[in-house]
Amino acid sequence: MLPTMKVSFALLLLLFVPLAVGCAASLEETYAPQGQLIVTQFVSAPFPHPTRLAGHNHKDKLYPAKDHYSDSSVAIFVPNGFRETGRVDVVIHFHGWNNTVGGTLEGFQLIEQFVAGGKNAVLIVPEGPHNAPDSFGGKLEDPDGFKRFVEELAATLKQSGAFKKGFVVGNIILSGHSGGYRVISAILDRGGLAAKVKEVWLFDALYAETEKFLAWSDKHPGRLINIYTDGGGTKDDAEAMMAQLTKRGTPFLAVTEANLVTHQLRTNQFVFIHTDLGHNDVVAKRQQFSLYLQTSLLADSKLLP
């Protein structure tokens, strides 16, 4: 979740992050009324990865590979009412430190928020470091690693039975809470599909890699939303990025969450939202994930023929 150099003042926040819940089958059953949830294994998933075969040390504690870097799970959710158009848009969310796919889905109500967003898209949540204090994105940080992941995603969707017609993967939105920033920045930098990424949502997650986010926006202008807190360790970087945009003469919206008006999310490329909430409340406390989805460029499922 947090980069090593900034964790000392924020570790207590991690105690409140939801842990893994249930098994894949129970998750699929839980969300069946809202759509089809597939929890499967990907060859191209972040882990296992060669650099974590011996595990990972953090503050003199070893996080063994077998417990924290061997899970290649990917959750795929197709909402009820999805319309086949020959193109499948996707929202890919990356969890932060000390979390899991199950903990993220349930703790942050991602599927409920995704359904409420009403977009004709599919939600993807890959397993990152499993209940570990680590921001590393594994194979998705490798050159073209994201391209391989999306190719496997398309093949998996075609084999799932959820679609009757052929399709291509269309627009991609990358979303990340906390330590999820690192894998997103790597995807934008060398993942092989930067042009397909149309939006980036950072949920108290801008700890570093500002230049990679700006380089992506320069080449492939897309919306970037950054919601940040006072205590999560991201405020300095958010303010530094705004200062850099000001120096470049690039317009952006800077607003407190209390004063945010929905239409502002639709009309600004760069959005910086200063919230009074805590680090683990920025995704779901005020249904932020759903709001950002509702105001995204993705098509509304109800408006499609």
Q: Give the whole-angstrom CA distance, residue 244 versus residue 242.
A: 5
What phi and psi, each to the nearest 5 degrees, are found at residue 213? -65, -40
pLDDT computed for residue 92 by the predictor:
98
pLDDT at 29 over 50: yes
In a domain, 302, yes or no: no
Range of the domain at 131: 4-296
Percent of the chain with pLDDT over 90: 86
CA angle 71, 21, 203 (to 5 degrees): 80
Q: What is the pTM of this model?
A: 0.90
Question: How many structural domains compose the chain?
Answer: 1
In a domain, 163, yes or no: yes
Q: What is the mean pLDDT of the chain?
A: 91
pLDDT computed for residue 303 by the predictor:
80
In a domain, 303, yes or no: no
Model pLDDT for residues 92-131, shown as the tens digit of each residue:
999 999 999 999 999 999 999 999 999 999 999 999 999 9
In a domain, 20, yes or no: yes
In a domain, 305, yes or no: no
pLDDT computed for residue 25 by the predictor:
55
In a domain, 50, yes or no: yes
Q: Does residue 183 contact residue 94 with C-beta atoms inside 8 Å? A: yes
- For residue 255, give the CATH number of its domain: 3.40.50.1820
Q: Where are the alpha helices (DSSP H) in 31-129?
A: 65-68, 101-107, 110-117
In a domain, 273, yes or no: yes
Q: Give the whole-angstrom CA distance, residue 215 versus residue 220.
A: 8
pLDDT at 78 over 70: yes
